[in-house]
């Protein structure tokens, strides 16, 4: 990766060219495969996505392959996480009907965290969720599930009625409110889920790349070596921040999914 530096340094060194967004986020195919216009090629992002899935399976298997009555180590951590999601997300948000959703919500939380925190893992240093296709697919899965749950609970007509005709509203208002409710619930929700996750990890990766490379670049000429200390300190801070952001984004994505499920299956008005 080529170095990135401040504009005034770039001006002094006309031969310098910082890496583009494509160089940071787009990886060439390792295996090229096309199905008509659909690109099914395998690149580094796809491999990291598979690695994230393997890590999630490994965490569950390692924790519960031989569960002990008094949990220790990984089992203790995983049980605490499952209990947190069961109590504070599934039951608190969805209610008693949320208990069957605990496995899905837990898996979603752990997978998003793992593939996001890859950003700070040495030799990987790339958050899979910074590629828009991954958050979009996760959001699409959630969209299918919460709509399917609502249709199963209320029937197609009853579900659409609950979405588009909220009770207690004067009938003339439905002319304006109904299309808004339909678009916001059926169309907009998956995009807001995906964009929130994608944008945060995209920005975080971009910032870390800038400060990592700036540190290496600034330390070389003696005149800018002192500036590399500040750049390195910012890199350390952003690395810790990325771990925090990975946790927060996994939590937000999971709890919003639970909110959408609750809205779909709720019979209260």
> Using alpha carbons only, how large is the chain's radius of gyration in Å?
23
Residue 7 lies in a domain: no
Residue 13 lies in a domain: no
Residue 148, pLDDT score: 94
pTM over 0.75: yes
Residue 19, pLDDT score: 62
Number of structural domains found in the chain: 1
Instruction: Tell me how crowded residue 184 is: count the other CB atoms within 10 A of its CB.
Output: 12
Residue 242 lies in a domain: yes
For residue 169 the two structure tokens come to 């509203």
Residue 39 lies in a domain: yes
Closest CA to 23 of 2, 53, 37: 2
Residue 153 lies in a domain: yes
Residues of the chain with pLDDT under 70: 1-19, 221-224, 267-269
Distance CA 196, CA 112 (A): 13
pLDDT digit string, tens, across residues 150-189: 999 999 999 988 888 888 888 888 888 889 988 988 889 8
Residue 226 lies in a domain: yes
Residue 184 lies in a domain: yes
Q: Give 97-100's long-range contacts (Cβ < 8 A, gap of 24+).
A: 97/265, 98/258, 98/261, 98/262
Range of the domain at 239: 20-265
Residue 15 lies in a domain: no
DSSP H helical ranges for 40-183 = 44-64, 73-84, 102-117, 133-164, 174-182
Q: Give 9-14's long-range contacts (Cβ < 8 A, gap of 24+).
A: 9/217, 9/218, 9/224
């Amino acid at each position: 990766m080529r170095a990135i530096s401040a504009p005034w340094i770039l001006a002094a060194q006309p031969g310098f060219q910082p890496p583009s967004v494509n160089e940071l986020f787009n990886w060439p195919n390792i295996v090229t495969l096309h199905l008509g216009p659909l690109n099914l090629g395998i690149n580094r992002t796809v491999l990291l996505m598979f690695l994230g899935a393997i890590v999630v399976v490994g965490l569950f298997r390692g924790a519960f392959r031989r569960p002990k009555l008094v949990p220790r180590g990984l089992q203790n951590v995983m049980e605490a996480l499952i209990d947190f999601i069961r109590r504070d997300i599934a039951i608190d948000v969805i209610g008693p009907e949320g208990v069957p959703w605990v496995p899905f919500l837990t898996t979603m939380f752990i997978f998003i965290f793992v593939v996001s925190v890859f950003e700070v893992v040495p030799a990987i240093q790339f958050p899979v969720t910074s590629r828009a296709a991954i958050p979009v697919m996760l959001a699409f899965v959630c969209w299918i599930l919460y709509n399917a749950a609502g249709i199963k609970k209320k029937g197609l007509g009853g579900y659409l009625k609950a979405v588009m005709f909220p009770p207690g509203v004067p009938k003339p208002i439905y002319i304006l409110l109904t299309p808004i409710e339909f678009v916001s619930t059926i169309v907009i929700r998956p995009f807001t889920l995906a964009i929130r996750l994608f944008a945060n990890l995209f920005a975080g990766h971009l910032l870390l790349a800038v400060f990592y490379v700036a540190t290496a670049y600034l330390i070389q000429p003696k005149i800018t070596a002192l500036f590399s200390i500040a750049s390195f300190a910012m890199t350390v801070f952003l690395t810790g921040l990325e771990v925090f952001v990975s946790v927060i984004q996994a939590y937000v994505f999971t709890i919003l999914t639970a909110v959408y499920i609750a809205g779909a299956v709720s019979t209260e008005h």
